[in-house]
Structure formats: C-alpha cells, structure tokens
Amino acid sequence: MLLTSAPVASADQVRDAQWPLTVYDAEKVWRTSEGAGVTVAVIDSGVDASHPDLAGQVLPGKDFTGEGSPHQDNDGHGTGMASLIAGHGHGANDSSGVMGLAPKAKVLPVRIWSTKDTLKPGNWAEGVRYAVEQGASVINLSLNDSAAYPGSKVAKAIEYAQANDVVVVAGTGNDAGTVNYPAALPGVVAVSAVDRGLNFWSKSNTGNVTVAAPGVETPQADPTSRSGYVVADGTSGSTAYISAIVALLRSKYPDLSAGQIINRLIKSAAFVNNEGKKAPDKQLGYGIARPGTALTMDIPAGPKEGPLAQSSPSTSTNSGAASEDSDSTGQTKEENSSPSGSIFLIAGIAAVVIIIAVLFVVIRSRRNGRNGGGPGPGGGIPPQGTGYPPQPPTGHQAYPNSAPNQGYPAAPGQSPQPPNPYAQQPPHQG
C-alpha cells in the first residue's frame, strides 16, 4: 500500500517533520474549521483506535474481512490514513505525534483487507454502502483495484454513495501509469501527489487527475512500527489530505452538496510553484488543493451536481466525461428548458426537409442508373471491393492489465484520457 516507508524515532520528530501542516498554514486554517461534525470513512486495513494520536476519534466501524475487528490493523496503512485525516497528536498541548488536517473529524474504519495480499478485487462494495448507511459524508479510498471498473459492483456502490451526497476521494496510483480505478470512475476526486517543494511526484499516475496534495515524505501513525510512526511516499497520503480538506469544507459549509464541495475544492486549487501549467493538467489536475483558500474564497455554489461528471446510463463507461451541468455555464437545466424545446422543433422540421431532399436525389439517381448511367467522378456509390476496408474502433483497451502496483493492495486498472470537465462537449468513449 505504501511505496516506501521508514520508521521515525520519536513522536516529537514526527511533528517537526509534518511539512504539509506548515505548507497549509494549518494553525490559521483551524481558526475557520477543524472538521467538527463530519465523519470520514477510511476503507482500508482497519484503524488502530488505541493509537495515542487517534484516541477518541475512531468510531466502531465494521470488519468485512472476517478476520478480526475494524480496530485491528496488521498492516498500519489504514491507521496512517486516519492519522493524516483526523489525528490530534498527544502529550503536553498535543505537541507530539501526528496532527491531522481535520483534527475534529471522526473516522469510520471499514476494514476490507488485513495485508496487501488479502484484498479481494471488487469484493469491497458492501464496505462502501456500509459507510454511506453509517452517515459518512466523505469516503477515503487510498487504494487501487482494477476490478472497480465502470458497471462493476464497486462502481455501483460508489454511484450509490454519490447519489447519497457523499464525496468519494481516491488516489491515482503510484506506478507512473494512467489514473487507476476507482479514482478513474466518474465523479470521484482523483488525487496525485506533490513533494515538499510542491513539485509533482514522478511516480504518481497521471491523466484524469482532479487535484494534487502532499504525498512525499509524510509522517504518519503506524502501529506495526516500533516507534508507532513511519515516513511514507505515495498517493495514499495525498488522498488522505484531500479527504481532510473535504471534511473541513463539509463542516464549514454543511448546506452545500457533495458536488458543490468539490466545486470549491477545484476552484480554489492553484499551480503554486508550477508556472506554465493550464487546467486541467494531466499531472496536477486543477492544481494543488489549498484548504485555507477553499474555506474562505468567495466561490459561487454552482449546480448541486458539481463540475465532475456523474455516473449515468449514458456515461457509466466513461471516465472523467464532462457533466451536462458544468459550472462553467452558470445555467441549470431548468433555465435552458424553454430554448431547448424551440431548438428541437426547428431541428425536427429541418430533418424532415433533408430526408425528403435525400429521397428525391436517391430516386432520381436510381432512375438514371436504369437508363445506363453510372456513378460519375467524385460521386455515387463505389463498386464493391474498391472502397476502404472497415476500420476497427479506435481507443483504449477497456481494462488492460499493468505492472503490479507497489503502493496499493491490488493490480491497477487503466482509464482513458479525459476531456476537460468544464468543457461543454459530448463524453468520449473509452
């Protein structure tokens, strides 16, 4: 699950090494929101509720492995993600250990694997549904699973979560390929990683990226380490930081829909220290997320659906397709209903006229053919066998296999390059 990890000697060193808190000016952020009243589901290897940095933050949760308790974490990954989201440190004035970016949020542990080799592809859909039923408004998926392709059980579970106003956040992957599932599913916030210089981490997967966040050399809790902490690289950590930012926003703006929260996240992101990039960028998406700006910037709420594509019968096989209610238009479907009716009426009349004209030309052509005329230069139907051969459909293979993902519990899937989520264009087939 973690590409690299190294133990940290002491909790004081951990706090000193938490550079994301410095970059985000966390102390100032917490004056506006600490994530109170928000539940973040961490669907992972379990969360050690007894870790000193998480005591009191972890809800009962549920174990879907049949091997133990949701508070049992044999790998340490789930506890690490929970600490980056809602850790509160410990010791005098909580000055030691990991401080999460949303320290007042609650963590719902949903245990779906015990070690990286025990995650059964596509077998954690019920965990997602359980998180929704338990009131989680944010779901953190620091994992890849090629079986979470559009139309799969997992994809339908994520659609269920989105239909119930839940923000789903997932890591793009750590093998420098294209964005993996479930991050590549419509409406999911796909997160890549940056280092302490805010430079793109080269092992992050690219393509349909939504935003980026710190994911390199991030200290996090780990009950399997002798010190209780590790420093790790990977989009797992950057995903956790985005889930924390979403928790801050959901606490500050409880009346906004999941899509409107994502809109705030995207509109407030920026290409800090990355001049020359244009959104959407295949590495950083709409930029590096900025929690302070997201919380305080004057951003119109926009449509409830938000700027990311939503799953539907017509788009369920497309990753990152533009939403019909793109925020860039500033209009809702209701506002466009009257003009659309006129357009359809005009289009229908025009179609009838064209059909009549075509029939007239065809009939006349056939009559000419019976009189000995043939297709002249530049027109008519070419003789059989002289036309171009049928071409196979172009595009990406639906779900190709790829090299084993060193940073995730299962082999990643692949997804096609997306169109601009703010562009008004039909979705591409992939």
Q: Which residues are known to be catalytic?
A: 44, 77, 236
Determine the Cα–Cα distance for residues 398 and 159; give it in Å rounded to an integer: 19
The one-character DSSP state at 93 is: G
Strand-pairing partners, residue 113, are none
Name 403's Cβ contacts closer than 8 Å, sequence gap at least 6: 175, 177
Determine the Cα–Cα distance for residues 384 and 372; give it in Å rounded to an integer: 18
DSSP 198-245: -PBPTTS-BSS--EEEE-SSEEEE-TTSSSSEEEEESHHHHHHHHHHH
Q: Nearest-CA neighbor of 407 among 127, 5, 113, 82? A: 5
Contact 272, 288 (CB under 8 A): yes
Distances (CA, A) of 187 to 138, 203, 233, 403: 13, 23, 25, 26
Q: Nearest-CA neighbor of 18 among 120, 99, 85? A: 99
Mark 19-45 as b/e (b = at least 16 C-beta within 10 Å): bbbebbebeebbeebbbeebbbbbbbb
233 φ/ψ angles, rounded to the nearest 5 degrees: -115, 145
Contact 152, 158 (CB under 8 A): no
Residue 54's identity, in one-letter code, is L
Determine the Cα–Cα distance for residues 245 and 251; give it in Å rounded to an integer: 10
Contact 221, 191 (CB under 8 A): no
